[in-house]
Structures are given as structure tokens and as C-alpha cells.
Amino acid sequence: MGGTLAQGDCLWVVAVPFDSLQAGDVVAFVSGGKTVVHRIVERRDGGFATQGDANWSRDSALLTADRLIGQVMERERKGIRKAVVGGARGRRRARL
């Protein structure tokens, strides 16, 4: 994820309705048998396009409801908890 999240961060993931998600939200989902944490970049027919903040390209598969684990709300790094910004603010932040 780049600047938003770092390897070793502890994440607080909350189950949310799939339809409540929007571009800019950071989500955890299953891909290829692994847990992936990326940001939603666009709503499309059939799901959401996702991309890691530090990645140059979008993920090849759309995020669908059956693969969603939840939305990342907070992260803890070196004992300090911080909210993970989502929605429009999160999307602007990811572009920086």
C-alpha cells in the first residue's frame, strides 16, 4: 500500500455491507488464496477496481462481494493507532 500502510502494521478491519463501499476506501479481500489490502479506485459493473497505493497499475480482477473481508478503519504502527482515511479524502491522499 505504500505510504498509507507499511509491512508490519496491525490493521483493524470491520465487516461492512458491500454496497456501502466507495472509491477511496481501503479494503481487505481474498485474492489467489491470500489476503490483500488495497484501495478501491473505481466502481464498475459487477464490482470495484482496486489498486495498492504504491502500485502503478490496477488489480486485474474486480473486487466482488464474495471476496470482501472488510474495510480497513485503523492501523497501528509502533504502538500508535491512526485512522485510515477512506472515501473521497482517501482517494485524494493516495494520489499524492
Q: What single string gives the DSSP state of each residue in 19-58?
A: GG--TT-EEEEEETTEEEEEEEEEEETTEEEEE-TT-SS-
pLDDT for the residue numbered 1: 45
pLDDT in tens, 14-50: 999 999 999 999 999 999 999 999 999 999 999 999 9
Please state the length of the chain: 96
Mean pLDDT of the chain: 90
All cell numbers assigned to 70 = 472488510
pLDDT for the residue numbered 92: 65
Q: Cβ-count burial of 23 within 10 angstroms (0-12 exposed, 13-18 middle, 19+ buried)?
A: middle
Q: Is the pLDDT of residue 3 over 90?
A: no
CA-CA-CA-CA torsion for 14, 20, 25, 31, nearest 10 degrees? 70
pLDDT for the residue numbered 55: 86
The total of other beta-carbon atoms located within 10 Å of residue 22's CB is: 14
